Structure 1
């Protein structure tokens, strides 16, 4: 019950409640009518379609995560398929095109959060090491980084134009590389980053385009200007 109350209190859901209520009333009417018709005729069925916000995260054209009213996992660990035997070449720019697709039925604005960190093999992440050596090259093709919310470990991107159903954004990134400057981090005995794993994770979420500035402020906690077709970070 608590989960349901939390769900219906979300601003992105409020505008859909009227549609959902109508759907339930129609369903009730259909069932009542069918109960009578069953005495003299075969049963019939009717479907009620409710608008939904659903979004998918793409890496180099392949879906790695999805998020929305229909469930899914909004987070995914990026694959970096061109890395052979799990060993990355310092300074080499691996293709890494991260994009978002609107898989729902209504226009929406989308946000992607990128996490970068280091780990020892089979161990927890190393919070004492510098994630900025993991370099994700941005395209700025319709995307804007939220400088106030971003750190060396966490980067937050907003796609400023509205994303229509079925559409896919331009990639927010082009390549990923490990800076050769990690070689400057060493002790007398070894290199600090030698034989460590670097990790890159991404999360996607979306919000309706109706009353966008108010909805984004309520759900994402940031102030934007604009309208149902385009937003601007304040």
Structure 2
């Protein structure tokens, strides 16, 4: 898709749509990470070949995509989240905090601003989302004293939108936007008691459901950052003169 606007390119990379799946009371399910991208090329076509972004989990690159040339991209287009969260033969425990440090690396050749969207949900065995189950029980501990900021007006109970307010230099990795994940132990207390004659049956509300954490990462180059961010993300920001720091309006 192409648009004629100003003489600078805006490349938005949708890095990751990854479902991190845990079955309550069981081990960790396989979490597939599907990588796609979206771009708009302006008339100048400058530096398009230089953009690249990688998603990092606990200091390991999970997935990445870097533009090479002529619509060719390099990098791993699939990955796995939470694969190493549990030790061998370890059972998942509601209420326990597990390491989940999520960050973004600039794997291209130009400085960028980055945004991450994290979506939490509960799904049944067929992959159907149950919106009556609380995403708030899926608890990521966010870190927002290191350059990351949560856009409260863009977020919902399911979705958290975070912006890294500093330009991300080539080859550098952001501080972690989270450090742990857990499922609140109260899920074990959400029980329905059914009495049928001499039989008493207890049904746990979350039985048979898995929780999902979807991550999306966008990157916009810092050149003409204020206008590029408005066009790419539809949000108004303030950017300092040397285009190294931005803030939400």
* TM-score category (smaller protein): 0.7 to 0.9
Asked if 1 retains the 8 angstrom alpha-carbon contact of 2:123 and 2:209, the reply is yes
Q: Whole-Å Cα distance in 2 between the matches of residues 77 and 225 of structure 1?
A: 35
**1:139 pairs with one of 133, 143, 163:** 143
CA-based RMSD of the aligned residues comes to: 2.7
Q: Whole-Å Cα distance in 2 between the matches of residues 106 and 138 of structure 1?
A: 27
Paired residues for 1:31-42 under 5 Å: none
Whose helix fraction is larger, Structure 1's or Structure 2's?
1
CA distance change for structure 1 residues 16 and 107 in 2, over 3 Å: closer, same or farther? farther
The structure that has the greater radius of gyration is: 1
**Match of 1:98?**
102
The reply on whether 1:114 has 2:113 as its aligned counterpart is no
Asked if 1 retains the 8 angstrom alpha-carbon contact of 2:10 and 2:221, the reply is no
CA distance change for structure 1 residues 15 and 205 in 2, over 3 Å: closer, same or farther? farther
Asked if 1 retains the 8 angstrom alpha-carbon contact of 2:50 and 2:110, the reply is yes
**Match of 2:129?**
125
Asked if 2 retains the 8 angstrom alpha-carbon contact of 1:109 and 1:209, the reply is yes
Q: Whole-Å Cα distance in 1 between the matches of residues 80 and 248 of structure 2?
A: 27
**1:14 pairs with one of 36, 42, 60:** 42
- Can you list the C-alpha shifts for 1:44-67, whole angstroms capped at 9, x where unaligned? xxxxxx651110001111222224
**2:86 pairs with one of 83, 88, 105:** 83
CA distance change for structure 1 residues 16 and 158 in 2, over 3 Å: closer, same or farther? farther
The reply on whether 1:230 has 2:245 as its aligned counterpart is yes
Normalised by the length of structure 1, the TM-score is 0.76
**1:198 pairs with one of 205, 211, 218:** 211
Number of aligned residue pairs: 201
For 2:227, what is the secondary structure of its paired residue?
A: helix
Q: Whole-Å Cα distance in 1 between the matches of residues 4 and 92 of structure 2?
A: 43
CA distance change for structure 1 residues 195 and 7 in 2, over 3 Å: closer, same or farther? farther
Whose strand fraction is larger, Structure 1's or Structure 2's?
2
Q: Which runs of 5+ in 2 are unaligned?
A: 12-40, 194-201
**Match of 1:65?**
63
- Can you list the C-alpha shifts for 1:129-170, whole angstroms capped at 9, x where unaligned? 111100000111210011111112111111011000000011
- Displacement of 1:223 in angstroms is 0.8
Q: Whole-Å Cα distance in 2 between the matches of residues 154 and 77 of structure 1?
A: 20
- Displacement of 1:206 in angstroms is 0.2
